[in-house]
């Protein structure tokens, strides 16, 4: 049984991350804040004063020094807030860090318009004058790609002032979703009514008792229905902000703005949706099979996560989960496994759910320090997969930081999901290969199908929701509760079929998705999953070339565009093959499971 902690103080030290690796005390944080403010003021003095390579180099090195310090400062504030989102002291640190971010943006807003006012010949002359600029050369010329999307110096200065206001919808939703939200009540094992938590929900929605699932489902959605208008307002504002910014910056659409940094053609996004819908039949069949296997007259949303193989619910304590992970990832080599052993010893993790702690899980790589990994571990199979997933991100961060200079150490989100999902595919293969009990094997197969469904199909559905809602905003059409409900419910039917009977809560799924406040992000889970299936398949064949290329990919940071980095691993997402292969794999899994 999972241990429930009533406060953060109860959690053992070894299961809490060590933020002293960032700042030994608050005084050091305050000292860095003052230093960053001085550096920001110094950067301002370069406005109109860059006339040669030496001055350009001085500006860029000062900016990189500031960036290094600010990333540490912001990471500390964010991690402190996420430990307990109710803590006003931590909130204050984060607010000050955000305000400082706006000040930095304002101080440097002149630079991109200045850079793009130069011709290529002048920039090359500056680089010839100051050899140190070769470090920045690729980045400088990459900026020219943005030329038609950068405004005048005065307009950029004005836009930088709106940074905090434009992020307000996302920040407001984060506070609603993490700090303010109160779920309904559920009945505990003693028959008492207790307030539902997210951690409890993830367990109860898989309970074999249908009444418990229904009760948890209703309690979980209760606050989202109560706050539907407020949440619809924050989401509509976030979408409209993005659409407006895209227009101001001369992008053909918000979608193309979202794909521009990664240099991904919109066809990759659109083909992902089209290919998935074209081959959606196995997912519909799986819904029908689920209804039949559960012996239900009506399949409801709260029936979609209960395991179809009963009596094999596994309790996997955190330490055991970690050991399983180390064995499962052996195909990635001894160095990879040893890196993860070091992660645990050095307390890079914050493991347990506690009141006020941010929900979910993430990895935050901090250049010059190390990754910090937030978990809400529940001692179950899902938590094992989450651990393996986030450690994929963590090692990716670690290796990119070790092998890349600061300027290219931070990898694109597009490639991030590859590293995490390769780990998940290796884990499921390890678990299936090392399980002799046929019933447990069926349970694991069922679990992987549901994981596939959530990481691939659901994310593609979310990606289409984003596309459709942004297109409505671009056409000047209203966005409100009814519009979001209609779009979301229609997509649910298209993706999951008519087998599922709709209830009032089902169409409000959009209200609980924080990723919608990071536009055109979720599709990367699906492309990452498809890429990972291909890479992991080759790794499991013992292909040494694949292993070498994949580890090189993990060390590459952002040294090339994401699609190019993936091509080096043997995955070409500009072709439909990786997507088609993944969909064929899903069909194969459903057929195998159905036959059992």
534-583 pLDDT tens trace: 999 889 998 899 999 999 999 999 999 999 999 999 999 988 889 998 99
The residue from 15, 83, 215, 390 that is catalytic is 390
Name the one residue in this structure whose structure tokens are 């819908």: 277
DSSP string, 302-344: GGSSS-SSTT-PPP--HHHHHHHHHHHTGGG-HHHHHHHHHHH
Give the pLDDT confidence score for residue 3 in this predicted structure: 67
Kindly provide the b/e burial profile for residues 264-289, where b requires at least 16 CB atoms within 10 angstroms of the residue's own CB.
bebebbebbbebbbebbebbbbbbeb
Is 37 noted as a catalytic residue in this protein?
no
DSSP tag of 379 = S
Q: Beta 371-374 vs 185-187: how paired, if at all?
A: unpaired
Q: Beta 349-350 vs 193-195: how paired, if at all?
A: unpaired
Give the pLDDT confidence score for residue 2 in this predicted structure: 59
CA distance 454 to 439: 23
Whether 17 and 349 have beta carbons less than 8 Å apart is answered as yes
CA distance 337 to 429: 17
Whether 23 and 77 have beta carbons less than 8 Å apart is answered as no
Which tokens hold the place of 572?
A: 């070409």
Give the pLDDT confidence score for residue 160 in this predicted structure: 83
Whether 257 and 245 have beta carbons less than 8 Å apart is answered as yes
DSSP tag of 130 = -
CA distance 466 to 176: 21
**What is the set of domains in the chain, with CATH numbers?**
10-166 (1.20.140.70), 169-181+231-305+415-596 (1.10.1370.20), 184-226 (1.10.287.830)
Name the one residue in this structure whose structure tokens are 């229905």: 225
Q: Residues 6 or more apart from 166 whose CB is under 8 A from it?
A: 241, 245
Q: Provide the 10 A C-beta neighbour count for residue 482.
A: 12
Give the pLDDT confidence score for residue 203 in this predicted structure: 86
CA distance 239 to 236: 5
Give the pLDDT confidence score for residue 150 in this predicted structure: 81
In terms of Cα–Cα distance, which of 366, 371, 362, 315 is closest to 340?
371
In this prediction, the residues of the chain whose per-residue pLDDT falls under 50 are none
């Amino acid at each position: 049984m999972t241990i429930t902690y009533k406060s953060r103080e109860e959690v053992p030290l070894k299961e809490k991350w060590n933020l002293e690796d960032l700042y030994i005390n608050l005084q050091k944080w305050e000292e860095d804040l003052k230093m960053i403010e001085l550096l920001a003021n110094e950067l301002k003095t370069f406005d109109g004063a860059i006339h040669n390579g030496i001055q350009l180099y001085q500006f860029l090195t000062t900016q990189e020094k500031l960036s290094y310090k600010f990333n540490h400062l912001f990471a500390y504030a964010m991690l402190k807030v996420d430990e307990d989102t109710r803590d006003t002291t931590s909130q204050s640190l984060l607010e000050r860090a955000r305000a400082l971010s706006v000040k930095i943006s304002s101080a440097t807003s002149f630079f991109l318009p200045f850079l793009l006012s130069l011709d290529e010949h002048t920039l090359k002359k500056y680089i010839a004058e100051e050899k140190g600029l070769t470090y920045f050369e690729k980045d400088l010329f990459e900026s020219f790609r943005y030329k038609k999307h950068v405004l005048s110096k005065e307009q950029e200065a004005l836009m930088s002032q709106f940074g905090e206001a434009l992020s307000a919808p996302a920040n407001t939703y984060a506070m609603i979703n993490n700090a303010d939200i109160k779920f309904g009540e559920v009945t505990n094992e003693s028959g008492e009514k207790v307030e539902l938590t997210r951690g409890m929900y993830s367990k109860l929605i898989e309970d074999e008792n249908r009444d418990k699932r229904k009760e948890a489902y209703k309690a979980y959605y209760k606050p989202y229905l109560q706050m539907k208008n407020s949440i619809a307002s924050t989401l509509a504002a976030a979408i409209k902000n993005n659409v407006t910014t895209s227009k101001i910056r001369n992008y053909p659409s918000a979608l193309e703005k979202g794909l521009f940094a990664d240099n991904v053609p919109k066809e990759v996004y659109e083909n992902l949706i089209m290919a998935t819908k074209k081959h959606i039949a196995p997912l519909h069949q799986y819904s029908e099979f689920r209804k039949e296997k559960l012996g239900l007259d009506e399949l409801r949303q709260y029936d979609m996560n209960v395991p179809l193989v009963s009596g094999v619910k596994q309790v996997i304590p955190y330490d055991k989960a970690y050991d399983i992970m180390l064995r499962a990832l052996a195909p990635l080599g001894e160095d990879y496994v040893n890196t993860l052993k070091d992660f645990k010893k050095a307390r890079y993790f914050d493991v347990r759910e506690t009141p006020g702690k941010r929900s979910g899980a993430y990895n935050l790589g901090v250049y010059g320090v190390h990754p910090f990994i937030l978990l809400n571990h529940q001692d179950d199979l899902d938590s094992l997969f989450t651990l393996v997933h986030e450690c994929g991100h963590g090692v990716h961060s670690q290796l990119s930081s070790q092998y890349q200079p600061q300027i290219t150490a931070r990898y694109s989100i597009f490639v991030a999901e590859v590293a995490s999902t390769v780990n998940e595919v290796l884990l499921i293969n390890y678990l299936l290969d090392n399980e002799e009990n046929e019933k447990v094997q069926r349970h694991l197969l069922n679990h992987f199908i549901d994981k596939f469904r959530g990481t691939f199909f659901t994310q593609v559905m979310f990606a289409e929701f984003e596309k459709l809602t942004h297109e409505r905003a671009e056409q000047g059409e209203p966005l409100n509760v009814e519009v979001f409900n209609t779009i979301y419910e229609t997509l649910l039917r298209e993706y999951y079929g008519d087998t599922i009977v709709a209830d009032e809560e089902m169409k409000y799924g959009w209200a609980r998705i924080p990723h919608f406040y990071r536009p055109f992000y979720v599709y990367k889970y699906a492309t990452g999953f498809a890429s990972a299936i291909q890479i992991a398949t080759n790794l499991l064949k013992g292909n040494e070339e694949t292993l070498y290329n994949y580890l090189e990919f993990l060390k590459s940071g952002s040294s090339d565009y994401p699609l190019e980095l993936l091509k080096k691993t043997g995955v070409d997402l500009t072709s439909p093959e990786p997507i088609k292969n993944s969909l064929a794999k899903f069909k194969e899994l459903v057929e195998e499971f159905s036959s059992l």
